[in-house]
Amino acid sequence: MQINFFSINLEFDKYQICSEPYSEDRLAELRNTYNSTHSFFRNDDSIYIPNKNGDGSYYSLQDECRM
Q: How confident is the model at residue 60 (pLDDT cuts 50, 70, 90)?
A: very low
Out of 1-5, 7-11, 50-54, pick the least confident.
50-54
Residue 67 is predicted with a pLDDT of 42
Look at the pTM and tell me if it is higher than 0.75: no
Residue 44 is predicted with a pLDDT of 92
Taking alpha carbons only, the member of 65, 56, 55, 57 closest to residue 30 is: 65
Residue 67 to residue 55: CA distance in whole angstroms: 15
Residues across the chain: 67
Residue 33 contacts residue 6 (beta carbons within 8 Å): no
Residue 2 to residue 42: CA distance in whole angstroms: 25
Residue 39 is predicted with a pLDDT of 84
Residue 66 is predicted with a pLDDT of 47
